[in-house]
Chain A
Amino acid sequence: MGATDSGVRDNPTGPDQPSEDADASADLSTAPKSDLPGTTVGLGFTGWARWMWRQLTSMRTALLLLFLLAIGSIPGSILPQKSVQPGEVTRYLADNPGLGQFFDSIGFFNVFSAPWYVAIYLLLLISLVGCIIPRTRLHWKAMRSTPPKAPSRLSRLAESSSWEAGSTAPAPQDVLTDAAGELKGKRWRVHVTDFDGTTGAVSAEKGYLRETGNLIFHVALLVLLVAVALGGMFGWRGQALVIEGESFSDTITQYDSFNAGRLVDSGNLPPFSFTLDEFTATYQEDGDQRGAPRTFEADLTYQDDPDAIPSQKTVQVNDPLIVDGAKAFLVGHGYAPVIEVKDPQGRVVYDAPTVFLQTDQNFTSNGVVKLPDIDPQLGFQALFLPTAAVDEVRGPISTFPALNDPAIFLSAWEGDLGLDDGIPQSVYRMDTSEMTQLGIKAIQVGQSWDLPDGKGSVSLTGVKQYAVFDVAYDPARFYALAGAIFAILGLMLSLFVPRRRVFVRITKRAASQDDAVGSVGATVEVAGLSRTDEAGLKPAVEEISTVVQQIVPPAPKGMSGS
């Protein structure tokens, strides 16, 4: 806290000033006074608890915690994170077993929910609360109290000016009243120390919004953190792959992956559903960005619940489907060649769009077809190329992501797929260790390949596309947004509103209270100070000088003693 009050060194009066000048700036910053640890030693448990609390809520500790938070985040950006790239984590562990195990044991693959990371931000949170509460109290008091009396030597403040009053000047008390009135009109908070026969002064203060903004900012950060935590508890998020023409309904079994907060009833998700009617992608055709995607569009027909009237929506990358408080985002796409397999008798044993996974920018894609129910078991490893070419070095490869010249390169295998061992297998990979290869063949859409020795046939009857959707629900996101907006507003107030004090004093040289000022001579002083490194103090004080000069004009030239 206190990011905005720049404190002692900027105190214009400097460190070696007499205490009267320190009064002028007293409490201009409401930062809590720091206690020396030594002062409470020997006070028993309460004393130590107090000391601990003071330490925890001190600015130094807050600074240290901020740094730990920054440094602690670094491994989270360098190492793969389980929450973001689980596959990468597995690979890292396989490639660097020793180091990987060590990193894993200290939570480096899950930094942002590792105990030590959580400890840092919880301590920071406590430190924040411990700072907000006393500062709010102090600020409340400061807003209700009057500005302090003018220090005795105004000329030592950051900005000051003085002049001898001219002979036409009004009575001193009137000068003070008028000056106070002018300052009030300019929205300063004003306190008048009445003219006592020799001297009188106006103290004025402005810029309480600075500290108000500072407090708003820090409270808003708390709101934001609470909203993040609530979102984590009540929100959920899943990923689903949908092939053109197929449907998705929002139940947990339809998701390929699903993460829910602790307090989510996963059996009771909102009952919406949608069908992917068509997916279209366009790509850059020429230039050095050839093949770069230009548009992705997923045409959906959706229903809020099974009884609702279906509606249409085209989902794009920055334009999700919003339904039942949840949002469905288009996050990926790929090809699903429609493969048909016939057994030696000519019966269709497999006929389905089969999801292939992209391996490069041009959608050279991998996929497998497994037929465990025929004897002997049959399997195909396949490479799908939307725009097929055969590279001399790299072999079959796609040269463009769109379906310009699609072909599929098949490798047929016969034997034991290894599915009966009970070990779960990926649907995108095939274990060929117990199989023998029957042959390889490239076919295009509409073509078929008769397997050797009359073992059946395989054909590519068409190509469909699929789209991958992230479905997310975060009930606290608006609170997070509100926290963020208030944080910025508070921050701007706390950094841009200047907190200033100005003083106007009139001092009479002779002691007769009933004399007109000009006849005996009086000095008028205007001075100001600011707690911050601001450029605006000088013009502000000059402006007030000008105003006061209209009330008490300077003595004509030649009489000037300043």
Chain B
Amino acid sequence: MSVNESLAQLSNGLVYSSMAVYAGSLVLFASSFASSRPLAEAEAATEEVSAEEISIGEASAGDAIAAKNSDAGESRATTATLDRGAGDAGALPPGRKAGNMAMSLMWLATLLLAGGVIARGFSAGRVPWGNMYEFSISSALAVAVVFLIISLKRDIRWLGMFVVGAVLLTLGLAVTILYTDSAQLVPALKSVWLVIHVLAAIICGGAFTIGAGFTVAYLIRDRAETKAAANGTEVRGWFSSRVPAAQRLDTTAYRINAFVFPLWTFAVIAGAIWAENAWGRYWGWDPKETWAFITWVIYAGYLHARATAGWRGRKAAVIGLLGFAAFLVNYFGVNFFASGLHSYAGVN
């Protein structure tokens, strides 16, 4: 089977376009973040709106119950603010407009990138993760998609510039150092497990990355909160004052990691089944396998730490970041520096 060159060209064009749009999105996210009010002020503002909205709403018993919860009140308030803001852009909180535009651009860029990844796959008539270049663009896509999915449920624009930064970095590395022409697979990769095992690993990569983003934010914010509590002041710091409360960041990070852990377990097991079918042993301590194991063990440690008194909170978060570091070693380090059975990635 030969390669469809025009589709391969189209894929490259789409990937480059997505990078340009991501760059725009990055700038807007950054400016939105920088100009946004520290959260304490913003929360005070929302509370007013929240109270107002409740008084004008139909005060049925059910609504009163719901409104009692501050979370629900907040989300309603946000909607209300946006609705009102639609008619009068000047009334938007500072940075909100840039943030909205950044999100729109990120959606567009992600669609372009998705198109690029899909076209790449079709150009060779197979899944678009047969070498390091393709694995990287697919992983970048996964990071962006996980971010966008979470953004549908909650406002995580503050994380946007870091996510888009990571996506751009990955794509930049892919198109410069890792690029290879679209081509058929080497025989070792011709297996249904390429679809299953690598897809699972790519999704894990996307989610681990976002989870780590929340964890880092949690560590910074938690430190600022501790300091603020000790001094009896508001939470200070250029970053800390603009991100949600530490407890919420930690909870979200946990939910993401708890979602990924079974999937990572599955990815490792699917890899083992493939190894059994290709090399005759399901586990052989190849460098890739070893680091997948290390990553698994550290994330298992993270989940246990969260259930252990004295380890919850910052210590557990640090363990989570170590797990992500092990994942990165597995992704980059093993392919570039170790020789093993997984070194067919098109990198020499």
Measured CB to CB, the residues of A under 8 A from B are: 1-9, 29, 31, 34, 59-60, 62-63, 66-67, 69-70, 73-74, 76-78, 81, 83-84, 111-112, 159, 161, 163, 228, 237, 284, 287-289, 292-296, 316-318, 320, 327, 329, 331, 470-472, 474, 477, 480-481, 484-485, 487-488, 491-492, 495, 533, 535, 538, 542, 545-546, 549, 554, 557, 560, 562
Q: Is the CB of A481 within 8 A of B273?
A: yes
Given contacts A73-B293, A470-B279, A472-B280, contact A289 B181 (CB under 8 A): yes
Q: Is the CB of A488 within 8 A of B269?
A: yes
Given contacts A70-B298, A560-B61, contact A288 B180 (CB under 8 A): yes
Would you call B76 an interface residue if the criterion is a C-beta within 8 Å of the partner chain's C-beta atoms? no
Q: How far is the CA of A7 from the CA of B291 in the complex (A)?
A: 30
Q: Is the CB of A6 within 8 A of B307?
A: yes
Chain A minimum-CB-distance residue to B274: A318
Given contacts A316-B187, A533-B254, contact A60 B293 (CB under 8 A): no
Q: How far is the CA of A83 from the CA of B346 in the complex (A)?
A: 26
Among listed B35-43, B65-73, B83-91, interface-contacting one: B65-73
Q: Is the CB of A8 within 8 A of B65?
A: no
Chain A residues with Cβ below 8 Å from B184 are: 284, 294
* Interface hits, B270-304 → A, CB 8 Å: 272-274, 276-287, 290-291, 293-294, 297-298, 300-301, 303-304
Q: Is the CB of B272 within 8 A of A484?
A: yes
Chain B minimum-CB-distance residue to A294: B184
List 5 other contacts, CB 8 Å, given A4-B307, A296-B187. Answer: A2-B308, A59-B304, A70-B298, A292-B186, A488-B266
Q: Is the CB of A76 within 8 A of B285?
A: yes
Q: Is the CB of B297 within 8 A of A77?
A: no
Would you call B62 an interface residue if the criterion is a C-beta within 8 Å of the partner chain's C-beta atoms? yes
Chain B residues with Cβ below 8 Å from A292 are: 183, 186
Partner of A70, one of B69, B276, B294: B294
Q: Is the CB of B61 within 8 A of A60?
A: no
Q: How far is the CA of A535 from the CA of B252 in the complex (A)?
A: 10
Output the residue of B183, B283, B334 with the most chain A CB within 10 A.
Answer: B183
Partner of A480, one of B71, B188, B282: B282
Q: How far is the CA of A294 from the CA of B254 in the complex (A)?
A: 43
Q: Is the CB of A318 within 8 A of B191?
A: yes
Q: Is the CB of A316 within 8 A of B190?
A: yes
4 A-B pairs with the lowest CB-CB distances in the bound complex, closest first: A472-B280, A3-B303, A77-B290, A161-B65
Q: Is the CB of A62 within 8 A of B326?
A: no
Would you call B311 an interface residue if the criterion is a C-beta within 8 Å of the partner chain's C-beta atoms? yes
Partner of A293, one of B180, B186, B272, B308: B186
Chain B minimum-CB-distance residue to A221: B300
Chain B residues with Cβ below 8 Å from A76 are: 285, 290
Whole-angstrom distance from the CB of B269 to the nearest CB of chain A? 4
Would you call B16 an interface residue if the criterion is a C-beta within 8 Å of the partner chain's C-beta atoms? no
Chain A residues with Cβ below 8 Å from B254 are: 6, 533
Chain A residues with Cβ below 8 Å from B286 are: 84
Q: Is the CB of A73 within 8 A of B278?
A: no
Q: How far is the CA of A224 from the CA of B325 in the complex (A)?
A: 27
Measured CB to CB, the residues of B under 8 A from A are: 3, 59, 61-62, 64-66, 68-69, 71-72, 180-181, 183-188, 190-191, 193, 251, 254-255, 258-259, 261-262, 265-266, 269, 272-274, 276-287, 290-291, 293-294, 297-298, 300-301, 303-313, 326, 334, 338, 340, 346
Whole-angstrom distance from the CB of B288 to the nearest CB of chain A? 9
Given contacts A77-B334, A287-B183, A317-B188, contact A237 B61 (CB under 8 A): no
Q: Is the CB of A471 within 8 A of B180?
A: no
Q: How far is the CA of A9 from the CA of B222 in the complex (A)?
A: 14
Q: Is the CB of B308 within 8 A of A73?
A: no
Q: Is the CB of A66 within 8 A of B68?
A: no
Whole-angstrom distance from the CB of B248 to the nearest CB of chain A? 10
Chain A minimum-CB-distance residue to B294: A70
Chain B residues with Cβ below 8 Å from A327 are: 280
Q: Is the CB of B313 within 8 A of A9?
A: yes
Q: Is the CB of A7 within 8 A of B309?
A: yes
Chain B residues with Cβ below 8 Å from A474 are: 276, 281-282
Partner of B312, one of A8, A29, A331, A557: A8
Chain B residues with Cβ below 8 Å from A560 are: 61, 64
Whole-angstrom distance from the CB of B204 to the nearest CB of chain A? 13
Whole-angstrom distance from the CB of A1 to the nearest CB of chain B? 7
Q: How far is the CA of A492 from the CA of B307 in the complex (A)?
A: 17
Q: Is the CB of B255 within 8 A of A533?
A: yes
Whole-angstrom distance from the CB of B285 to the nearest CB of chain A? 5
Q: How far is the CA of A237 from the CA of B61 in the complex (A)?
A: 72
Output the residue of B62, B187, B282, B326 with the most chain A CB within 10 A.
Answer: B187
Q: How far is the CA of A545 from the CA of B287 in the complex (A)?
A: 54
Chain A minimum-CB-distance residue to B1: A294
Given contacts A66-B297, A84-B286, A491-B261, contact A237 B188 (CB under 8 A): no
Whole-angstrom distance from the CB of B331 to the nearest CB of chain A? 14
Partner of A9, one of B186, B300, B312: B312
Q: Is the CB of B281 within 8 A of A237?
A: yes
Q: How far is the CA of A535 from the CA of B334 in the complex (A)?
A: 37
Chain B residues with Cβ below 8 Å from A294 are: 184-187
Chain A residues with Cβ below 8 Å from B187 are: 293-296, 316-318
Q: Is the CB of B300 within 8 A of A66?
A: yes
Q: How far is the CA of A228 from the CA of B272 in the complex (A)?
A: 12
Chain A residues with Cβ below 8 Å from B282 are: 474, 477, 480-481
Q: Is the CB of A70 within 8 A of B278?
A: no
Partner of A3, one of B68, B69, B72, B300: B300
